Amino acid sequence: MGLFGHIRIHDSRIHHNADNSDAPCNPLLLPLLISPAHTVPANFNSRIGLISDKGGGFPRSVADLLFRYTFTTAHGSKGKPLNVGQTGNAPLAGYGYGLPLSRLYARYLHGDLTVAGLEGYGTDAFVFLMRRDFEADELLPVFNRTSARRYEPARTPVADWAERRSLLEKP
């Protein structure tokens, strides 16, 4: 598999605060398999990352709800989202923002995030991202003439109200 082959995190422990800070390490008790990003053979401008766990998965009945903001399956025994004070949990875990925001960021970069789960076994998350920089750029909106001048020398097309307004002002 080589140096960057599959990484298996043994003993089901992932430690937070790995930046050598003085904060205590809290282990997450989930088996996790991280594989490196692979190039899709049929489409050479994409990269795929796979993250798998064996944390019990999720029921098929909630598959359509996974990417809704504030939807969560990570409730404690009292029905509330898990807190940092509980052993092994990240800050703000269980509030239902992780998957929707992650997919939003991936789509902003011309990629996508998909999740497949098997109830009672685990979950696979696939992250697709653009491979070439020049195909993953994003046109930024221009809101005034000053910022529009910055993009004019590069001949970047601007399709918002600033362009129409400047055309109307010219005699």
| Cα 112–chain centre separation | 8
CATH top class, domain 7-133: alpha beta
Query: Which residues contact residue 62 at a Cβ distance below 8 angstroms, ignoring those fewer than 6 apart?
Result: 71, 73
Report the chain's mean pLDDT, rounded to a whole number: 65
Which amino acid, residue 76? G
> What confidence tens digit (pLDDT) does each residue in 78-135 have?
545 545 455 555 666 678 888 999 999 888 877 889 999 989 999 999 888 876 655 5
Predicted pLDDT of residue 113: 92
Angstrom CA distances, 32 to 24, 27, 59, stand at 21, 12, 19
Give the start-to-end residue ranges of the domains of the chain.
7-133, 139-171
pLDDT-derived band at 47 (thresholds 50, 70, 90) equals: confident
Strands of the chain, DSSP E: 7-9, 13-15, 27-29, 32-40, 43-53, 112-118, 122-130
Give the pair of three-digit tokens for residue 18. Answer: 């790995």
Angstrom CA distances, 73 to 95, 163, 171, stand at 9, 46, 60
pTM of the model: 0.50
Q: By the 8 A CB rule, do 114 and 126 touch?
A: yes
- The region of weakest confidence among 4-8, 21-25, 28-32 is 4-8
Predicted pLDDT of residue 114: 92
Query: Which residues contact residue 53 at a Cβ distance below 8 angstroms, ignoring those fewer than 6 apart?
Result: 30, 31, 32, 33, 122, 123
Q: Characterize 85-104 residue by residue with b for buried, 16 or more Cβ atoms within 10 angstroms of its Cβ, and e for exposed.
A: eeeebeeebbebeebbeebe
Give the pair of three-digit tokens for residue 43. Answer: 């489409």
> In terms of residues, how long is the chain?
171
